[in-house]
Chain A
C-alpha cells in the first residue's frame, strides 16, 4: 500500500513536470517547481516507509528546507533583477 501511494505521488510529479516544461510565464514554472519540491518531500517519506529505512525522513527534511530557500531566492532574482548586494 505504500507502493500505491508512491505511484500516486509519481503520477503527480509527472503532471507537474509537464506544467513546468510548458508553463507560459516564469511564475508558472516556479509554482510547478515549488510544488514538485513539496511532493518530492512526501515521496521521500513514503519511500522511506516502503523500504523500511526511516533515515529517509532526514533527507526529506533537508529537501524541504532547500526547497523554500531555492524558491525564495529565484523569486527575489526575478522580482528585483538581482539577488541584492
Chain B
C-alpha cells in the first residue's frame, strides 16, 4: 500500500473517532431532547462514515471492503429512520422543546 493512502486512512479513522467523541459530548451536554438528537447525528453520520471509509482504505479491494460497504449502507438507511421515529414519538408523547426568550426588543 502506498504511504499516501495509508496516511489518508489513518487520518480518516482518527477523525472519525474524534467526531464520535464530539457527538457523545453533545448528547451528554445539550440542554433538551431535541438538541441532543441533533448532536447524535454527528456520531451517526460523520463519525461512522469516516471510520468505515478509513478501514476500507486499509482493507483494499477485497471482501472485507464489501462488508464495510454493507455496514455503511445499513447505517445510511437505518440511522435517519430511527431518528425520525424517535423524534416523532417524543413529539406525540408531548416532550416540549426548550423555548428561548426570543429576540429582545429594544
Chain A residues with a Cβ under 8 A of chain B: 1-2, 4-5, 8-9, 11-13, 15-16, 18-19, 25, 27-28, 30-32, 34-35, 38-39, 41-42, 45-46, 49, 54, 57-58, 60-61, 64-65, 67-68, 71-72, 75, 78-79
Partner of B82, one of A2, A18, A34: A34
Question: What 16 new A-B contacts, CB under 8 Å, besides A8-B21, A27-B93, A61-B71?
Answer: A5-B51, A9-B17, A12-B17, A12-B23, A16-B27, A16-B28, A18-B28, A28-B33, A35-B24, A39-B43, A41-B48, A45-B52, A54-B64, A57-B68, A61-B67, A61-B74
